[in-house]
Amino acid sequence: MSTLDYVTGLRRIIGTRPVNLVGAAGIIVNGDGELLLLRRAGAENWGLVTGTSELGESLSETLRREALEEAGLRIGAVELLEMLSPVSLAQVANGDQFYSYTALFRVTDWSGTPVSDCMEIAEARFFSLNDLPPLTRLGLKAQAWLA
């Protein structure tokens, strides 16, 4: 199932009006202590592997699915760090409005080499904590947890 199923189905009925969406994001660090960051197509800031839950999908499963879809990584054990509530209404290019509730996980076991999907994700690579690019809200959260 792709992320499109639940949210697209909902959008067909409710249009662009604001809705609460829940999802997951993951802090993935390599053996050198570097943080995996992703830059979405059209975006300037770098953030984490993240996405919206399918209907009835557990949050850790959402993270597992998104890590594979967005960066080609297989995720093992994860640890929930915090549940982030929305700070403001988000709006995407097509006008869809939503508030994000995001479970932030630390990924303690993963495998693979990050590759961007070349569609949603423009770039995916590890950064030294001493040399981080401009960060999204989730990227900043990761930086704070790793400090």
Partner 1 sequence: MNYVRDLRALIGHAPVNWVGVCALVLNAENEVLLQRRTDTGGWGTPGGIAELGEPLPETLRRELWEEASITPIHPEFLTVISGPQTYQKLPNGDEFYQVVAVYLVREWHGVPVPDGEEGTELRFFNLDHLPASLGPVDGEALGLLQVR
Residues that bind partner 1 (CB under 8 A): 6, 10, 13-14, 18-22, 53, 55-59, 61, 80, 82-83, 85-86, 89, 99, 101, 103
What is the smallest separation between the CB atom of 120 and partner 1, expressed in angstroms? 21
* CB of 18 or CB of 112, closer to partner 1: 18
Provide the token pair at 129.
Answer: 């904590």
Nearest residue to 38 via CA among 29, 50, 30? 50
Nearer to partner 1, 125 or 137 (CB): 137
Q: Which is nearer to partner 1, 73 or 104 (CB)?
A: 104
Amino acid residing at 105? F
- In the complex, the smallest distance separating the C-beta of residue 28 from partner 1, rounded to whole angstroms, is 19
How near is the Cβ of 84 to partner 1 at its closest, in Å? 9
